[in-house]
Structure 1
Amino acid sequence: MTTPVQSIIPNIHEILDLCAGKSLYTTLDFQQGFHQIPVEPTHCARTAFACHLGVFEYIRMPMGLKGSPGTFQRVMNAMIKEMQARVFVYVDDMVLTSETAEQHLKDVEEVLDKIEKSGMKLRPEKCKFAATEIHYLGFVLSKSGIRPNPEKTRAIDQYPTPRTVKQVRAFIGMSGFYRRFIANFSKIAAPILDLTRKDFPFEWTEECKQGFEELKAALTSNPILVAPKLGKPFVIEVDSSGKGVGAVLLQAQDEEGKDLRVIAYASRVYTGAETRYPAIELEALGLVYAVKQFRPYIDGAKTLIITDHAPLKALLHRKDLIGRMGKYQIVLQDFDVQIEYRPGKDNVVCDTLSRYHPRPEEEKNDTAPTVAAIMGINIDLEKVQEEQKADKKISDTKKHHPEV
């Protein structure tokens, strides 16, 4: 038995979104990281194990204990707590990001000084300094954005045709890790996922083969997603068809707002009950699904939702809605959104996402697991103070209320 350590392990995609799009990166790898944490001497006996050489006890924290990842994450967080806007850690993987060489050199020097004072050691051959592109947590980060690690996708591309349920689950697990890069992932994978269902005959059909090859092709085409610019407006294109809902999160990369780039895709098929909803409720369901899926990005930011269903333009403002539509309205009012109508022929991506690869049977748990976490913005306190001084309303408030 080990005592659980209350330490939140960061969300991988949150770290990636905050790191991507920078000019310079440094990655640091700790030498047998867990083993650098000593075990409380009075507790060493609890780690005892026997083998053919005798009975041994750990005097350093081993891998495999329930509290090991949380403990190491807590140590790392304490080490970099003053640099959390520039340094990110996922257990024993540390990355530093900067926009200028001068700032990067300063940050690297400060981090190395903290590591030296803590008594921890790095593995030099695994560290990478001042790189313009890095491999991190299974992805490639650079100034242009985020893309899957080619070494990982190569393994997916070379994966043989599954012959057992176990092999199907392994393939879906590997490809599902990169689902945010794949438009319409849940529907493409639906025929393959059917093979894992209880009492479902294992038959590799032409539809399974097609989905298998399309998932491979989608990942080996070197897709790139841009990093979100927090605080800037977002655009969500969403469409619901008779089979499912598709959504795309975009953001302008220029000041004019014309160069829209993809940040993430999301899609799912309807459940059996949802297929019987009226058309307007299906379209509203699509909006609610999209804002929930992209909540870590759009929470607190102005967002334009584009739909091909004109009646939804009034969804936010009608006062007579009840039942399911009333619930959808309440969900949407949590966000700073506007709804704009655009004909389906002009909303090509989402229209395709929602219609592609129809699935005749009910699907359950077709979306990725949702983690109850808040996306950190990593605010620079000095920058906040400067902006407050420049803000007229805040200055007037401080003038009349000096105690604030």
Structure 2
Amino acid sequence: MEKKSEDKRLENIPEVREFLDVFPKDLPGLPPVRQVEFQINLIPGAEPVARAPYRLAPLKMQELSDQLQELADRSFIRPSYHQLRVRDEDIPKTAFRTRCRHYEFQVMPLGLTSAPTVFMDLMNRVCKPYLDEFVIVFIDDILIYSRNKEEHANHLRIILELLRKEKLYAKFFKCDFRISIIQFLRNLINRQGIHVDPAKIKAVKNWASPTTPTEIRQFLGLTGYYQRFIKDFSKIAKEKVIVYASRQLKPNEENYTTHDLELGSVVFTLKSWIHYLYGTKCTVFTDHKSLQRILDQKELNMRQRRWIELLADYDCEIRYHLEKEMLW
């Protein structure tokens, strides 16, 4: 895998050297009028938000200015969204003020609610002829995949010509070329498929034991993301009792035999939790051994026959379990 480095040069990559204009140091100016324009649709009657600029001490303002300039110089905050125009009638809606003056955005800024959706729409339209053939687009990321180096060089040239035609620009030092594995959307992707990032696995291994409900939810949220990579992920956790059910015997039930009381408790449970159990295979554990053969018994009273008909509606298996081994 070729490492991303500040020392790499455009001229050293044959497929790219003829497309130097696609990798400018700075955006050349306002983007052209495209088939996709950024629109700001307001709720009828909505009024502009009036808010004073956030106050900062002079020293903090200077520090903030210096840090922003440093980030800009290092290309860390160059926005790709600025390659899409704002619709003329919506430009006044982007107005904002600073301690120095008022400004309006003529291009789509980062941070607006629908900005990612609109930019994704633009990229899908631009790359539509080649989507899922050798290109994957996610917002401002373009992934080009090929079976061999020759095919990859051709695919890369096609996309660069497309970007040149549409006057869309890329940042060279944020690009990787001719690599066999890439990190994308928190996963590692190569020709064998999608793999878990080892750094994420290390984070799970080093995670401190959660002690509060919030910490448990955080841990389950992190590990749950990778459940598709782990067979029988849901079975790893130890089973927990999710509900208990009981009731008093009715006067007439006090005369039931032990066998009928045990069978009646099964029927009561199935009726109580029908929304969980109906249509789902379930297992009933009982310490009354004769219930295992209840469906094979021929001599049944009317009550038992009625209950057997109800049991037939469920996909359940009755198993004998010693009382001392039951979970309570």
Q: Which TM class, normalised by the smaller chain length?
A: 0.3 to 0.5
The TM-score normalised by the length of structure 1 is 0.40
- Return the index of the structure with the highest Cα Rg: 2
The TM-score normalised by the length of structure 2 is 0.48
